Amino acid sequence: MANIVITGSTKGIGFGLAKAFLDGGHKVIISGRSEDTVRNALDRLQTPACKCCGLTCDTSEHTQVEALWQFAQDTFGSVDIWINNAGLARTGWSILEIPQHEIEAMVRTNIVGTINGCRIAARGMQKQGHGKIFNMLGGGSDGEYFPGMGIYGSSKRALDYLTNAIASELKGTSILVGKIRPGMVVTEAVIREAKDNPDRFARSRKLMNNLVDQVDTVAVYLARKMLEFNKSGEKIRWLTGGKIAGRMLKGLVRKREDQFARHGL
């Protein structure tokens, strides 16, 4: 069974991954920015059979990420998988219109936070002699453009380069580095933005409904692929080009079950 650390895992795809790994009998440490969110997530995850712990961690703060690694070492003895999942998505603005504080928050969390996680996890794994590091990518990481996502997409594009770079630097070691593209998942952030921008959501709802998936569905697939992962630098992708094309064609014939209605949208 694997020992796993997931940053930003009190909700969304991070929480889904924690649940998927725990359901598979693995041991997991979750983290979030506040004690309340960590405690709430642990209450939802804990069962008599589950081995799950948590710690508050702002990944943009180097010392807090170091503390998270040390907590995992003290708790489990070693870390087999470290997932840099913590991230912020503030979309809907053009690059010229987005507030400065939103830019700085995304850059610190998405880029600086992931760099901190990679460096600290890689150093620790070098000492223990093994491990896997995964970085969570997203819209824009392949260079594609989405309206209203200029800054967010830029941060995710940077993570693609970062992952390639650290995979190259660790080549020949026992540490594997991978990328995760979860696709379009109905998370708390997506629901929040839909409620904050109802007109924009209404315009895109039909298209999005063909492409989005629920957290549990995607998380189970990603967790299995991470456990099987054996080639550094590779990408684990849920929503492939073939899957997108197939869903769009199928949508012309039969309407897909509403993926947003269950969330009150």
pLDDT of residue 208: 87
Partner residues linked to 181 by β-bridges:
237
pLDDT of residue 5: 98
pLDDT of residue 24: 95
Using DSSP bridges, classify how beta strands 81-84 and 3-6 pair: parallel, antiparallel or unpaired: parallel
pLDDT tens for each residue of 154-198? 999 999 999 999 999 999 999 999 999 999 999 988 888 888 888
> Which residues are tagged catalytic?
152
pLDDT of residue 200: 82
Q: DSSP secondary structure string, the chain?
A: --EEEESS-SSHHHHHHHHHHHHTT-EEEEEESSHHHHHHHHHHH--TT-EEEEEE--TTSHHHHHHHHHHHHHHHS--SEEEE-------SS-TTTS-HHHHHHHIIIIIIHHHHHHHHHHHHHHHHT-EEEEEE--TTTTS---TT-HHHHHHHHHHHHHHHHHHHHTTTSSEEEEEEE--SEE-HHHHHHHHH-HHHHHHHHHHHHHH-EEHHHHHHHHHHHHHH--STT-EEESS-HHHHHHHHHHHHHSPPPPSSGGGT-
Residues of the chain below pLDDT 50:
none
Predicted TM-score (pTM) of the model is 0.94
- Using only the alpha carbons of the chain, give its radius of gyration: 18
What is the phi/psi pair of residue 211, to 5°?
Answer: -110, -25
Task: Choose among 173, 183, 160: nearest CA to 233.
Answer: 160
pLDDT of residue 173: 97
pLDDT of residue 197: 82
Structure tokens given for 27? 């041991």
| CA gap 195, 207 in Å, rounded | 17
Task: Choose among 72, 78, 105, 79: nearest CA to 90.
Answer: 105
Tell me how far the alpha carbon of residue 74 is from its chain's centroid: 24
The answer to whether the beta carbons of residues 98 and 90 sit under 8 Å apart is yes
Burial label, 14 (beta-carbon count in 10 A; 0-12, 13-18, 19+)? buried
What is the phi/psi pair of residue 217, to 5°?
Answer: -60, -50
